[in-house]
Copies of this chain bind each other. A is one copy, B any other.
Amino acid sequence: MFKYLRKAHYHETDQMGLIHHSNYVKWMEEARIAFMDELGLSYRSLEESGIASPVTGINVEYKKPVRFDDEIEIRVSVGRYTGVKLEVKYFIYNVTSGELAAEAISSHCFIKDGRIISLKRDKPELDEMIRKSMEGQE
């Protein structure tokens, strides 16, 4: 499974002394883009080809705190995928504490010229890449 590594930064803490919960949503995006890069699906070139992939939903369950300077490992994988809608799953591990810090899901669609497109129909090569990554997950 794809792993994205980063540190928790000082500017991400809040006065509770922990990483503020809104930052996990940014980390998920970083991990998702790195995961797509790994699949050969560069987000930069996706956008340059006129396709945007907006987030239609997020769900985060916070389990254990993350503190400044902790090492974070995010395991990313494709959840459900219909050819039109994509769900990405995240397990956010706090390597420093050895705990699962959070589990999360983000939902996405794909948009071209202001309209939702079917990757299956309009971008079969991307559709293929996503399906392939799902096989590898078993």
Contact = CB atoms under 8 A, between A and B. Distances in A.
Interface of A: 9-11, 13-18, 20-23, 25-26, 29-30, 33, 42-44, 47, 52, 54-62, 65, 68-69
A60 B62 contact: no
Contacts of A20: 11
Q: How many copies does the complex hold?
A: 4
A56 B13 CA distance: 16
A18 B11 CA distance: 11
B43 A29 contact: no
B62 A59 contact: no
A90 to B, nearest CB: 13
Given A10-B30, A15-B17, A56-B62, 12 more contacts: A9-B29, A10-B14, A14-B14, A14-B15, A15-B47, A21-B55, A22-B26, A44-B69, A56-B61, A57-B61, A58-B58, A58-B60
Contacts of A68: 15, 43-44
A54 to B, nearest CB: 7
A115 to B, nearest CB: 14
Contact of A22 (B25, B62, B65): B25
